[in-house]
Structures are given as structure tokens and as C-alpha cells.
Structure 1
Amino acid sequence: MSTTGSVFGSLDYVLDRFSNTWSWRVTGHRAVDMVSGLVPEAWYGEKNDEAIIPDRPECVEKLRWMLERYPLEVRSKSAWTRSSSRPPPPEPPRPALSPTIPGEQFRGELLEFQKLGLDFLIKSNGNALLADEMGLGKTVQSLAYVATEKRAFPVLVVAPLVTLNNWQREIHRFLKRRSRNGRIMPDEHPSVTIIRTGRRRDLERSDFYLVNYELLHKRREDIAAAKIRTIVCDEVHNLRSVRTQKYEALRYLASRPSVSRRLGLSGTPIYNRGAEIWSITDILKPGMLGSFEEFCEYFCYINDRGRAVVLEKRREGLRRQLQEHIMLRRKKSDVLHDLKEKVRYREVIDADTGYYNRELDRIWRRMEEEQRDAKTEFFRSASYRRAIQSERVAAGMAKVPHVIGFVRNIMEIEESVVVFCHHRAIHAMLRESLREFEPSSIIGGQSDVARQEGIDAFQRGDSKMMIAGLRAGSLGINLNRARYVVFAELDWSPAIHRQAEDRLHRIGQKETVFAYYLIGNGTLDDRVADVLVDKGHEIDGILDDAAEPYDDGERARLILAQIRDRMNERSGAAPAASTSPV
């Protein structure tokens, strides 16, 4: 072990006066804090910044784990070489999970794998990350948990705004009310308060408080006064940045003395880059991955944009730590054997490159002028971001006519389809151009009533097309009536696309789901698609044993051939651009 550079403390072999045995002594304030959390058998030495660790194989193994990640000055080198060369004791197996029946306050039946999930939450004391793939019922498992644990109420649920009404419906559907004297009221449901304004005022007594992430910092004192016992963070990837007000507010609430359970839910806990997992674990189980600097020092490298990216050789080790200490993740292929597979395909379509290049020239000329006139770094950065956003809109506009043709033809070979786009302008053009299909719609800014009416109409079959915003339509809804999903535009985050796909690919889906990514030839789409693949491999390397398969070529090509034939019949055009897996 090198002793050069920055070290956290020192390690030497001493005769401990208290136990009269040869033991390991760790010195240094930070090192003692770290080892006291890592080795329960440790005790304080003669000084405040000393800790004594027994010279037992299981303790030495924990010290070796610590030295691999955080440098200590090893003073007793020969003793350390002798002790650390012993074969490590076998890892204690993670407690086996067994199907657990929910408490009497729960209404309904859990699937077998959901009963195992309930057992995991109980054995984790409610401080856990439930990272099952989308569509496996994380909400119902968390409700079963709070219905089973004693003294779990009141519960704070923090979730995206568009999912709050769904949470209320699920609480009413799955939970019975428990009276103050402990009696179960089977015909009643727990009280629910949805916090909808940022204005400070006392909260009335309730079993559940539901709030969206954006309001959390404004109402944190009111929520703290409610003596919350359990916090459930739905779509917990919203806490991926420690520099946000919602992260600070959640950390403040999670540290309140009344809070004993912190549960995170997300099928995509890593949204863009693997280092985001640190901030989530720091809320749910503080200190598990050390400080952010310590985490980055061992697991990450810094890329050319200054972002922390988890090293490929460390991804398996990080996944193992998460699975051992905090995370349960099941994929649909593991637990839903009757669910058909999901097929992704990248379809390169024509785009109006003349329009796109003219727009690009205009956008960048304007940006150059703004950069010249900008007086501060803030204005220069804002100008650059506007240019990137404008380029994305231009890429979408350039391929819209060809997207419309693709969707029209896919409607002729299938009953229902979901089309996702990113920008309001594209959403409006698609709705206007495809109005003969009377599409349902999901877009940001809708009322909860209008949003739910559109979803219900689509699921009943009253409308056979859904046009949805990528951000607004990828959370908290079920669109499994359709088996075709078309991405008219791309987002930079692979998590957004996976969430959108799994609005269709979930419990209740009887058919194979086909997801088509429409890439505008010669536009920004080419670069975005490459970034999605790169980020996807990093995420899969941490959360799963292997990257998700991206292709099922024969069936996808067969369907695309039918679509191309129809398009060519109408336009008399040459064969469309080539197709390749995402």
C-alpha cells in the first residue's frame, strides 16, 4: 500500500491495553469515522481519533476492503502483509428472501415475486432501493410494506406531479383504513392529503401526504412538523443531482428524528451516468458509498466534459455493493415468464436536409452574434443552450413529414400505436396531420382530468392512437392496449426511452412490444442515437449483469418491410433508408 499522496489516517499493529490482545489501531478523524461504521466490533482507543479493531479474519477483510478504496498509511507493514494474506472468510450470504403475506391493512393479492419484494423491504428495515423494471408493481409493493410494518404512518410520498393522482387511486384501491385504536375498517381507505401549493401553512393530520418534487423545498417545514415516519421517493432518480433544492429538502426531511424508513422506487435509478447512484444512496442509506469524493476516487474517472463516469472495470463491483446493501432489482424476463419480449429497432428515415441545414446555419449565426455580445459567462452559456435546443427542434421538424407517413402506414397493419415526441411544436404537427385517427393526447400542462380521460379513451379502444410527450407520458400510466411504440424524436437520456417503452411492456401485455426509433438521416439524431447507446451500456453494466439486447432482427424487419412497401406504393419513391439495431 503506497503511503504517498493524500491519506485518511494510519494503520498499525499494537498490543491493546483494554483487551490485552494484539489488535489493529486506526488513527485519524476521517478514518475512525469510516471504520467505526464498517466494523461493528471496533472500539475507541486511548485517544479520541483512535479506533481498535480485533485481529480476526472477518475484521481484517473489512480493513482490506477499506484500504482498497481509501488510502491509509500502513506503519506495521510486515504484520499487515501476514494478516491480509490469509484467505478471506466466505461472504455471509444475503438473507434468503421468502414469500411474505402483507398485513391485514392491505387489500388485494400480490404476485409471488412481489411477495419476495415485500420480504426484502422488511429485511432492509425500509431503507432500500426497489429498482424493479417498470411495470412490475413497485407502487403496490411499497404499499404492502407500509401496511405490514408497525408504526409506519404517517407516510410521505414524494413523486412527479403527473403521478400524484395515480398514487391516491392506488392507496384507495389497495389499503384499508386503520382507526386510531388499531381497528381495521375494511370499507374505508386511509386519509390522503395532496400538497398542491407552495404557500406555507399547517398540514392537517393524515395517513399519507403526497407532494411533487418541485414543491418539496417550499413546504419542507410544514412536512417536518407532521412527524413523518416513512418516506417513499417514487422515481427516485429525480434526486440524482445534489445541487438541487429538492435534494436538499429531501435530505433535510430524511434526517428528521421521526423518520425511520426511507424507500426509493425507480426502474431507472441511473438516468444518464452511473455516478448519479451516489446521491440516491446518500439519501436512503447515508455513508454507504462514502463521500462523493471518495466514491469518485475509487469508482469513476472524469470525462472531457468534467462528468464523473463509472469505470467499466468497477461497474460489476458497484452493482455487487448495491445488491448486497440496498438494492433489489428484477427484470421482467426474470419474473414474468408469460410476458412476451420487447424488440427495439432503429429505423433511419428521410429528412428534409435542405431545411435542416438552412435552419442550422441561421441558428449558429445567431449564436455567434449572441456570443460576441455576451458580457458574462452566464449569457454565453445560455446562448449555447438555446442553440442546442433550437437544433433539436429543427431536426424534429425536418423529419416530421416522413414520421407522419411511417405512422399512417403502421396504423394500417396494427390496431393501436403510441407515438412519443419531445417538443410541443412537433406534438401539435402530429396531432393536426393525424387527426383522421382522432388521437388521444398527453402533453405537459394538461389538467389531471384531461390527461386521465385521454388515457382511459385509449385503453378502452375509443381512440387507437396516442400522441404523448416523452417527459409527460413516460411516467405513472398504463398503455398496454398497444404493442407498437414509435419515437418521433429522441431524448438524450436512455432512461426516458425505457420508461416510455414500458408504458406498453408491462403486466397485462399479451403481445411482443415493438419499439421503433426514427432517426432523421443527416441530422442531430445520428449523434443522439450514439450517445444513447453509450449511456445505456454504462447503466446496464451497473444495474444488470449484461446489457439489454437491442435487436430481434427478423420480425422487426418483416414489419418494416410491410411499412416501406406501403410508403413506396403511395409515393413511387425508391426503397427507404436502411434499418439497423439501436
Structure 2
Amino acid sequence: MKFIPHDYQEIAIDHIMENEASGLFLEMGLGKTVSALTAAADLLHNYFEVSKVLVIAPKRVAEDTWSRETEKWDHTAYLKISKVLGSKSNRLQALLEPADIYVINRENLEWLVNHYKKDWPFDMVVIDELSSFKSSKAKRFKALRKVRPLIKRIVGLTGTPAPNSLIDLWPQLYLLDKGERLGKTVTWYRDTFFKPGRRDPARYIVYEWNLKDGSEEAIYDRIGDICISMKSKDWLKKMPERMDNVVNVTLSPTAKKKYKQLEKDLLLPFEDSDVVADTAAVLSNKLMQLSNGAIYDENEDVMKVHDAKLDALEDMIEAANGKPLLVFYSYKHDLERIKQRFPQAKKLETSEDIEKWNRGETPLFLAHPASAGHGLNLQDGGNIIVWFGLTWSLELYQQANARLHRQGQKDSVIVHHLVSEGTIDEQVMQALKDKSTGQDALLEAVKARLEKVGVS
């Protein structure tokens, strides 16, 4: 297929070409992969500025998306892709293969760095989903930081650079510019732009950091030269309409009583075991399980509480009148109960599963948002999403919805949220709305403005 770039893709490609370190904060559906591939091909074979490209991606994306995208376009089909995946022997063999681009999953990045040490051979690195490097304590960040001085060109791709708050930006920007804009240490960044919020003085623990006055604009100004941001609504005239719908699920009096008891006493007794929630985090997790209909006890056995969400899902399947549904679940017991209730349901596991869905052969497709969050094109298989279990992660939420709500989708996308009334589900929905506000401000502040690039 001949690649005719859209205006926004030309801007993204030029940005990579013009900056040795570049961050592309492109919303889902704007073609981050093909833009990066096009720039890499030019740098490899037209400008001869780099000789070996490494792509670091989520596992499923590393397995499928980059090779498939390369083969799709006439101008990149000649590129040789080597997948550094699987067992150690398979990874070593893949590294020996002559190739233009080597693709590795982020879980194996530490191994790759330790394998090469100072003999690091990749002079260009593309981080697919830069936001997965938002923790400065993570092994993947520390590993890449070691070899960052040996990398000539680096590209960070993401649609959600600050899914929770601007505190997440420092590790990502450090990998791009080695601390030039936001400081050499996370401590300096934090002390310069933030002030302690909620904390435990006795244990010297700070639970959240709040921006100082003027810091938000200062951060945007510092990163605006190497980071550009684009949103689908600004560039895509053919994006499908998206309609969000909250489906209120009423729990039975018995289920409500159990929910309130766990919420109040941090303990829910069953006949042969108990459910104990001894911290706020554990309690939150247990309440979300119970809202969905089942809960793990102290022995990790599943205790069923109600079928209210299963009943709601059955109503939605009937209302869809034969149209396929993409259902996002949270827990293994959600998955098993849905499969038991609906034998026609199929879990997303392989590339073949994706192909069957896109051919319209799967009436009920079950996916965990973490496994379907990045790089998967599912828009050909349907236009209805159901969130059986919600997630606190704005990043997972946005990425999962973008599997259907993206360019190429022919119908309006309907996103249903099953929300158990009077439960933590309602708080999660509100939190997702609140978190998006800060991220939208970031994207707006650094996005490529039409006036600046001369596009009307």
C-alpha cells in the first residue's frame, strides 16, 4: 500500500528527523508507528545517520504490530525486522540476524542491556509507549538509563504522557534529554516544581505531590521544543462519534449488606473462610471485586456474591441484536464467570483471535485492558465496548477504548460502563474523569499548533 501521509503525520515525521531526541505525544489513531517507521527508514537509508534501530514495545505489540505495520506500506516493506523475543536462545539468535530494526519487549530490556554492556550497538531507539517508563525505580528505566549516553537518536511515543499527574514526566523526559530540561534527578524535579501534599509525617512518607504556583506552565515551556502533542479531534475529520453510557447496576439487598460490611469492618466472613482487607489499597481492590460479583478470600478461593453485572451484560447482549461486543474484565474470576454464563465468549490470546474478531466471527470478545491496551487494531470487528470491571488507570482505560474508537472505524462507538450503584465503581468513574483534566492540559500546552506549522 502506498503511504500518503496526513498533515499531522508529516509534522510527526519531520519532528523526529529534526530532533535527535523527540517525544511524540500523539493520541491513539494518529499513526505513531508508521510515522516512526518512515523516519527510521529515512535515517537508515537516505541520510545514513543511524545504522541499527531498536524498538522497545509492550509484548503483544512487539510480537505483531511493528512487523505487520512494516509489511503494510510500500516504502517500508523492504525493511528487515528481527524480533528479540521468547527464550534466551531465541533472543540471542534474533540479535545475530542481519536486520534494520530489532524489536524487543520491555520485560527483556534489562537482559539486553546486560548482554551488550558498553558494546551497545543500537544508535537509534524507539520507545513505543514511553509512559511505561514513568517510574524512576523500575528496572527497565534504570537499564535504559545506563546506555542512554550510547544512543544517538531516541524517540518516545505515547498518547498518555502523564496518566496520573505531571510527576510522571521526569523519568520519561530524562530518557529523552538526559536531564537537560527537567533536571538530572527526580528529587530536583520534585523539589523545584512540586510541594508535598498528603503525607505521613511519622514515617516521612509523602503520598502525593502538588504543583507549585506557575510550575505547570514552566514544565510545558521546558519540554515544548522536543515534545509535540496532537489530538484526534484537531486533525481527524473522519473520526467516528463516541458515545459513553453508564449502566447503573442495582445490587440485591444481600449483596449490598455484604458490601457495606466489608467497607465498614474490613472483614467479610464466609462459611469456611474470611475476606480480610487490612490496608486501604487492599480494601479498594476487594470492594472492586465485590462490585463485580465475586471476591477472593484469604485462601485465594473465589467467593461468589452476586450476578447483577452478569445479568446486565446478558441484557446488553440481547439489546445488541447480534452485534459483537468487546468486553473488558478486571479479575480472573470475572473472566471465568463470564465464560461460564456465556459459552460463546472468546478470550483474546493470540493473533488468530484478533483476526477472527476483525472478520466478525466472535460475538463476545473478552480482554483484559492490560493485554489489549496498546497497538491492537480491533476496529473492523465491532463498535460496542462494555466495561464489566473498571480500572483506576487512565492510561489503560484510554488505550483500551482506542482499540475500537480509532481511524478506520466505520460506525459510532458506544462505550458502556457497568457501575454498581452505591459502590466504589462510582468513585472510579469520577477519578477517570478527574485524571484526564491534568493530562489534557499537558497535551494542549505542547501540542503542535496549526498556526505554528503553517497548516490551515
1:410 aligns with 2:319: yes
Write the distance in 1 (CA, Å) between the matches of 2:317 and 2:138. 42
Deviation, structure 1 residue 228: 0.7
Match of 2:298 in 1: none
Q: 2:112 aligns with which of 216, 219, 236?
A: 219
Q: 1:294 aligns with which of 181, 188, 202?
A: 188
Write the distance in 1 (CA, Å) between the matches of 2:214 and 2:243. 29
1:434 aligns with 2:367: no
Write the distance in 1 (CA, Å) between the matches of 2:74 and 2:196. 46
Match of 1:157 in 2: 55
Match of 2:164 in 1: 272
Match of 1:76 in 2: none
Deviations 1:225-269 (A, max 9, x none): 35111111111111111011111011112222xx10111111112
Do the aligned residues in 1 keep the contact of 2:124 with 2:152 (CA within 8 Å)?
Answer: yes
Q: 2:134 aligns with which of 230, 240, 243?
A: 240
Match of 1:148 in 2: 42
Write the distance in 2 (CA, Å) between the matches of 1:311 and 1:491. 29
Farther-moved stretch of structure 1 (336-345 vs 360-369): 360-369
Q: 1:518 aligns to what SS in structure 2?
A: strand
Match of 1:493 in 2: 393
Letter of the 1:197 counterpart: S
1:229 aligns with 2:110: no
Match of 2:5 in 1: 110
1:319 aligns with 2:220: yes
Deviations 1:496-536 (A, max 9, x none): 11111111111111222222222110111122222222212
After superposition, residues 147-186 of structure 1 pair within 5 angstroms as 147-149=41-43, 150-165=48-63, 166-174=65-73
Farther-moved stretch of structure 1 (160-169 vs 381-390): 381-390
Write the distance in 2 (CA, Å) between the matches of 1:156 and 1:349. 47
Do the aligned residues in 2 keep the contact of 1:367 with 1:387 (CA within 8 Å)?
Answer: no
Deviations 1:448-492 (A, max 9, x none): xxx211211111111233221121122221121322212111111
Q: 2:85 aligns with which of 195, 198, 202?
A: 195
Do the aligned residues in 2 keep the contact of 1:122 with 1:145 (CA within 8 Å)?
Answer: yes
Match of 1:120 in 2: 15
Q: 1:329 aligns to what SS in structure 2?
A: strand
Match of 1:458 in 2: 357
Match of 1:12 in 2: none
Write the distance in 2 (CA, Å) between the matches of 1:314 and 1:345. 36
Q: 1:325 aligns to what SS in structure 2?
A: coil
Deviations 1:306-335 (A, max 9, x none): 22244585434433433x222111111111
Write the distance in 1 (CA, Å) between the matches of 2:213 and 2:5. 37
1:479 aligns with 2:378: yes
Deviations 1:392-436 (A, max 9, x none): 211111442343234223312x7232111111111222233233x
Q: 1:193 aligns to what SS in structure 2?
A: strand
Match of 2:204 in 1: none
Q: Could you say what the CA RMSD is over the residues aligned between the two structures, in angstroms?
A: 3.0
Write the distance in 2 (CA, Å) between the matches of 1:330 and 1:122. 17
Do the aligned residues in 1 keep the contact of 2:262 with 2:268 (CA within 8 Å)?
Answer: no
1:395 aligns with 2:296: no
Farther-moved stretch of structure 1 (133-142 vs 225-234): 225-234
Q: 2:230 aligns to what SS in structure 1?
A: coil
Match of 1:552 in 2: none
Write the distance in 1 (CA, Å) between the matches of 2:35 and 2:363. 31
Do the aligned residues in 2 keep the contact of 1:351 with 1:402 (CA within 8 Å)?
Answer: no
Deviation, structure 1 residue 281: 0.3
Letter of the 1:261 counterpart: R
Match of 2:436 in 1: 536
Q: 1:136 aligns with which of 1, 24, 30?
A: 30
Deviation, structure 1 residue 360: 6.2
Deviations 1:152-203 (A, max 9, x none): 23111111111112222223334778xxxxxxxx7x4414132323579583
Do the aligned residues in 2 keep the contact of 1:421 with 1:470 (CA within 8 Å)?
Answer: yes
Letter of the 2:153 counterpart: R
Letter of the 1:193 counterpart: K
Write the distance in 1 (CA, Å) between the matches of 2:147 and 2:61. 21
Write the distance in 2 (CA, Å) between the matches of 1:519 and 1:381. 22
Letter of the 1:129 counterpart: G
Same amino acid, percent of matched pairs: 22
Do the aligned residues in 1 keep the contact of 2:373 with 2:403 (CA within 8 Å)?
Answer: yes
Write the distance in 1 (CA, Å) between the matches of 2:416 and 2:268. 36
Q: 1:328 aligns with which of 184, 207, 228?
A: 228
Do the aligned residues in 1 keep the contact of 2:196 with 2:210 (CA within 8 Å)?
Answer: yes
Match of 1:49 in 2: none
Write the distance in 2 (CA, Å) between the matches of 1:118 and 1:503. 23
Match of 1:342 in 2: 242
Match of 2:413 in 1: 513
Deviation, structure 1 residue 383: 6.2
After superposition, residues 73-84 of structure 1 pair within 5 angstroms as none
Do the aligned residues in 2 keep the contact of 1:492 with 1:528 (CA within 8 Å)?
Answer: yes
Deviation, structure 1 residue 367: 6.3
Letter of the 2:5 counterpart: L
From the CA coordinates, give the structure whose radius of gyration is larger.
Answer: 1
Change (3 A) 1:313 1:391: same
Q: 2:103 aligns to what SS in structure 1?
A: strand
Deviation, structure 1 residue 389: 2.6
Write the distance in 2 (CA, Å) between the matches of 1:267 and 1:296. 23
Change (3 A) 1:312 1:132: farther
Letter of the 1:247 counterpart: F
Farther-moved stretch of structure 1 (324-333 vs 381-390): 381-390
TM-score with structure 2 length normalisation? 0.81
Write the distance in 2 (CA, Å) between the matches of 1:315 and 1:517. 32
Letter of the 2:328 counterpart: F
Q: 1:210 aligns with which of 79, 98, 103?
A: 103
Do the aligned residues in 2 keep the contact of 1:299 with 1:311 (CA within 8 Å)?
Answer: yes
Write the distance in 1 (CA, Å) between the matches of 2:122 and 2:17. 18
Write the distance in 1 (CA, Å) between the matches of 2:268 and 2:420. 26
